[in-house]
Amino acid sequence: MPPAPKRARGDLGDLLSVAEVAALCDLSEWAVRRHIRAGDLPAVRPGARALRVRQADAEALRDTEGLMTVKDVATRLRVSADSVYRWTRDGKLGHVRLGAQYRFRPADLVRFLEANATGGACADGEGAA
């Protein structure tokens, strides 16, 4: 296992800078700061201006970045948010609970669409069997 990168200004343990979190999560620094302001990503200020994020919190953000919200799913399927909540409540649409919020993996959405496909024409012109 390669040695951990050295820190220039003191040992901050498992704390990462905004730039390091952005690189880890494949996000812009602006997006990371937006997550911090929204309360989605806890951060500390060890100095006057610097923001630091625990590595475990950054990895959790990275793992949830591909998830969609209820609004995202409703917009994508062109239905109301109430329909998405109903399908979730009825167990038809797989989801992940993050606190009081629902999040949806793209694979869950694909499974839902496949399970609820009708015999109509497909986009490629072939009908479903």
pLDDT tens figures, 63-105:
776 788 899 999 999 999 999 999 999 999 999 887 778 889 8
Residues 19, 57: one domain? yes
Number of domains in the chain: 2
Residue 31 resides in a domain: yes
Residue 49 resides in a domain: yes
Q: What is the pLDDT of residues 2-29, one digit of tens each?
A: 454 554 444 556 899 999 988 887 788 9
* 19-to-4, 24, 58 alpha-carbon distances in Å: 16, 9, 11
Among the candidates 41, 64, 87, a domain finishes at: 64
Q: Which domain holds residue 85?
A: 70-115
pLDDT at 126 over 70: no
Q: Tell me the whole-structure pTM to 2 decimals.
A: 0.48
Q: Residue 4: its pLDDT value, please? A: 46
The sign of the dihedral angle between the CA atoms of 87, 98, 72, 25 is negative
Neighbouring C-beta atoms of residue 72, cutoff 10 Å: 14
